[in-house]
Amino acid sequence: MSAAEDRKARIKQDFIDARGYWSRGWDPLLDIAPDYFAAYAKLSSVPWKTGTLPPKIKELLYIAIDSSMTHMYEPGLRVHIRNALRHGATRDEIMEVYQLTSSIGVHAVTMGVPALLDTMKKTGVGGDVTGRPLTPRQEALKTAFIANRGYWSELWDGVLALSPDFFEAYAEFSSVPWKTGTLEPKIKEFVYIAVDASGTHMYEPGTRIHMENALKLGATPEEIMEVLALVSVLGVHTISMGLPILLDEIKKAGTRSA
């Protein structure tokens, strides 16, 4: 074995030792760009070497960001579902992660309504809807949301004021995994943090809300940092998605590979 091949073998084994798996999708990257892969492996392995979250939870967080509507990266999703199952995750736990993750569609509302309220104020159209007393129905909806979700944010004030019907339907939708799921509340909040903070979404208001919720539920700053470290490597999908396409197009074109 040449020195170059020996180095690649060591890089591969180090990755397996740290991450607990190997995917054939990594083979061409390791072959073509071993320096890059070694650097990626070192970065992605930090929370696996120094973190405290169980491997199953780490894999569930990868499932969340890969299945998110802002990413939808099927190859990675399949890899991490296999890993999660190997670490003891159940079908229902993975389904619960899907349910939690699917709620980020509401950010069209929680981002849009504050802009709408600001525009209403500037134009003088509609009045100060959030300054009005809540109706008995709105009070009941707010109370039920807090009971089911464990928190309240001023982001919901405008939604509740402008469309109690939408708020009621969303509250019911988003509360399903909180009523029927089995993941502990802290882990649910980690899923929200992972999806909101991921490079394909970067929704700061939600990230802050769910960090606060997680801390109140007993999470440590170190655990939240671990969540952020885990999802920070999402950008490698530029390579894992792009490299097979590059190699295929090179083959079709009959051009040199280097």
Q: How does pLDDT run across 100-146, given as a tens digit for each residue?
A: 999 999 999 999 999 999 999 999 999 999 999 999 999 999 999 99
Structure confidence at residue 254 (pLDDT): 87
Q: Whats the size of the chain, residue-wise?
A: 258
The pLDDT tens digits for 164-203 are 999 999 999 999 999 999 999 999 999 999 999 999 999 9
- Going along the chain from its start, the domains and CATH numbers come out as 51-253 (1.20.1290.10)
pLDDT at 1: 77
Question: Could you count the other beta carbons within 10 Å of the beta carbon of residue 94?
Answer: 19
Q: Model confidence over 48-58: pLDDT tens digits?
A: 999 999 999 99
pLDDT given at position 234: 97
Cα(42)–Cα(44) distance, rounded to whole angstroms? 6
Alpha carbons within 13 A on the beta-carbon side of 165: 0
- Computed over every residue of the chain, the mean pLDDT equals 96
What whole-number percentage of the chain has pLDDT above 70?
98
Secondary structure, 3-state, 148-202: HHCCCCCHHHHHHHHCHHHHHHHHHHHHHHHHHCCCCHHHHHHHHHHHHHCCCCC
What is the CB neighbour count within 10 angstroms for residue 78? 13
